[in-house]
Each structure stands twice: as C-alpha cells, then as structure tokens.
Chain A
C-alpha cells in the first residue's frame, strides 16, 4: 500500500465515521431508543438481585453489564448487520465500486459506533450512580481507558468479521443477530460473574471476546468484588490477541465472501 492509498483509506474512514456520528444525532428517536432502552433491561436485572437479597456488589455487576450490553448491540446491529441494511436499501454496491478499502469503511463505522455508544452509555452510568447508588473501586483513568480500548477493539474487530459474513445473508442476518444477543449475554456473564458458569464460562471466554471484555472492565472497576475469571493482565493480552485475530479474519473473509456473493449474485439481492 502506498502513501496515496493510505491517505484515501484514512479519508474514507473519517467520512464513514462522520456519517455514523451525524446520522445518529439526526435521529432523536434512535438516540433515545439506543440510550434509554438497554438501561430499562438493566434496571430489571438489578431489581432481580435485590429481590433475591444479593449483596450490593452484584447490583454493580448488573449495571456494568447493562452499560456494556449497549456496545454489544451496536457491534451486532450497527456493525455486523450494517451491510445487510445497506443491501436492503439498495446501496451496498456503492461500497464495492468505491476506490477505497472496505476495511477502511468498516473501521470508520466502528470508530463512529464506539463514539456514539459511549455518548449513549452516559445515561446508563447516570442511572447506576443516581438511582442504584453503585460504588466502584478507585481506579487509574489511564488504566481503565486502556482496558476499555482493547475491549472495544476486540469487539468491533469481531463486528467487522460478522459484517463480512452478512454479505451473503438475507433475512438470516436478522435472526442471527437476534440469536447472538441473549445467548451471548449468558455465555459472557453479562449480568453475573462469568465464574458462576464454571467450565462452560471458561470455554466461552476462550472463544468470545465479550466475556473477557466484560470481566476485564469489571475487574478494573470493582477489584475483588468482580469475582474475576483470570488475572486482569492475562485478559488484556487475550483481548489484544482476539483483536489481531478478528481483524485478520475480517480482512480474509471480506475478500472471500465478496467474491462468493458476486458469483452467486447475492450482492444486490433484496427481499430474500
């Protein structure tokens, strides 16, 4: 890749990021929906712990899970299913005639997605602090930001891989996204310490970055109250490895599935 290509890709990335940020801000109903709705579910899970008489630290676990679930929803629907939406809107072909790399477009989408989801997650943090009075351990902001960054990198790299898979899918994309919501919350211990799943939790964490990411963020914020799965440092290393793996997978599968979709004539096929 020469300097000119790189400059083009950076511009494409910025352009796609701009669309994601401005597009989200232009649609207040989506903003409210994405910011408020996941928190209602989170409130229900906090109240379940309260109904069971669990220690307060578990309520904090559920609040953190609720906040992080907004990122997973964005990864699935905003990254994974994005190319499916584009196909339904009849503009997927524009992505493929553009002179820039598809990875640059997906990266822009991911960065814009993280920014907007972080903005929305402020509501969840506010609910946690002012309504449920959650407490977190004093933690270094730089350390927390680093863990957050590596977690998001792994999750959005996975989202890029999903988006390449969904090039081939029609309505299955919708159902796959639905199937990857609650089952992933369970396997990742989104609302409870993943350790509670025993061996199943360990296996799930080894293949799904969401579980490790949630556990790492909890360990950073709650210390021993997080009931962590493995030491935090190991989790960060594993998340970084997941990022590299999924970025490579996304690149390879995007190229392969683009070819396959073209060959089978599915790239512009709507209403499948």
Chain B
C-alpha cells in the first residue's frame, strides 16, 4: 500500500488544527448541564438551543451590532481620509513630502 508522504503529513497537521475547533462545535451543540457534568465525544442529545439564544437574546446580539457599527465607521473614515492623501502623494510633489 503506497502512502503519499505529503498527504499523510498534511492530514496530521490539519487534524491538529481542527481538534480544538471540533471540540468547540461539540460543546456548542450540548446543553450547559451536559458540558459540565458528562464527558462525551458527541452530544448525547443534540440541541440547537444555544444558537437560538445568541440570535434572539439582546445581550448577545448587541455585540454583533456594535462590532458591525464599529467596523463600518472605521472603514468609512479610513478610506475617506486616506484616499485624497494617497492621490496627493502619487501625483504631486510639494514641500515636505
């Protein structure tokens, strides 16, 4: 059986990278009770309640709204002040450039 050496190394590395993410998804599908009491590789009773909570509870989704507001404002201000300056530096020479 011929094993491709590159494929083997890449598979090991990607498994190493995915382990904590797999654990994260595993925990996100369990209830709080189950996380703290039992240890299981896959939730005993699959539940999407956690996802419902973060999308409907204001104290959770306000975080998303704040982040989006911040990012949009940041982008608008950065672009609007940087573009004229970039144009000036590329097309003109002036004192102090």
Do A and B associate with each other?
Answer: no
- Point out residues on A near B: beta carbons under 8 Å: none
- Point out residues on B near A: beta carbons under 8 Å: none
